Amino acid sequence: MTQPEAPAPDAALPVLHALRCAGAVSVARVAAVTGLDPSDAESELIDLGIDGLVTRLPGDPPVWSLTGAGRAAGAERIARELESARARGRVTAAYERFMVLNPELLDLCTAWQLRPVDGVTGVNDHTDAEYDSRVLARFADLDGRAAAVCAELAAALPRFGRYRARLAEALGRAAAGETAYLADNTASYHLVWAELHEDLLVTLGRERW
């Protein structure tokens, strides 16, 4: 069987796409999202900046964001990647499964932050270790089901494999006591999940509603 001619690897695409899915972010977060070394990520960002696809905004730390041209170029290259991998059917199926899990994940983040007591929903003050451990156990259960979806996605398009690693890291840290990694920081399970959601929408060219 002959393989279709492999397209030239698009080294800049993961960086360009990271800004599309994660928004305006620092070099450190581009590195975390893509798995690239920070200096490699920065060098790609600079090249993309020369092409007018991304722009650097002052701040502490400075953040990089897509230009209008970058957004258009990214969408076009992501669509091309999907078609050349003939992955639309598999990604669509995985997206449908993801959308079944999505409300449950949001329920869990909310249950971590808020807690009904006597019919009144208030802030979870994390003084009830038994309740918190129940929430964590359900995160772990959901993560097991999410892993299957991530595996299907990675089989369809290898770049999706990065989400599995990031979700596992967030949950591992939360289970080890760094509970801000559930819903409260920029590497949290919730935010990685939200980036995956955005990525699926962008990849399939869908609207959120």
Cβ proximity of 76 and 17 under 8 Å: no
**Residue 117 three-state SS:** strand
CB distance 124 to 53 below 8 Å: no
CB of 82 to another protein, least distance (A): 20
Peptide bond into 9 cis (omega under 30): no
Q: Which is nearer to another protein, 4 or 103 (CB)?
A: 103
Is residue 198 a contact point for another protein (CB under 8 A)?
yes
Q: Please report whether residue 106 would count as binding another protein according to CB under 8 A.
A: yes
The CA-atom distances, in angstroms, between 145 and each of 87, 98, 111, 205 are 21, 9, 19, 25
| Interface pick for another protein out of 103, 127, 129, 176 (rule CB under 8 A) | 103
For 205, which DSSP code? T
Stretch that binds another protein, among 40-48, 81-89, 93-101, 169-177 (CB under 8 A): 93-101
Residue 107 interacting with another protein (CB under 8 A):
yes
Does 206 bind another protein (CB under 8 A)? Our answer is no
Q: Which of 40, 47, 65, 85 binds another protein (CB under 8 A)?
A: 65
Q: Are 97 and 149 in contact (CB under 8 A)?
A: yes
Q: What is the DSSP string of 158-178?
A: GGGHHHHHHHHHHHHHHHTT-
Q: Quick one: which of 51, 182, 202, 82 has its CA closest to 124?
A: 182
- Window of 43-51, 79-87, 120-128, 158-166 that interacts with another protein by CB under 8 A: 120-128
Binding test (CB under 8 A) with another protein, winner from 150, 183, 200, 203: 183
23 lies in the site for another protein, by CB under 8 A: yes
Residue numbers at the binding site for another protein (CB under 8 A): 20-25, 57, 63, 65, 93, 96-97, 100-101, 103-104, 106-111, 113-114, 116-122, 131, 134-135, 137-138, 141-142, 145, 183-186, 188, 190-191, 194-195, 197-198, 208-209
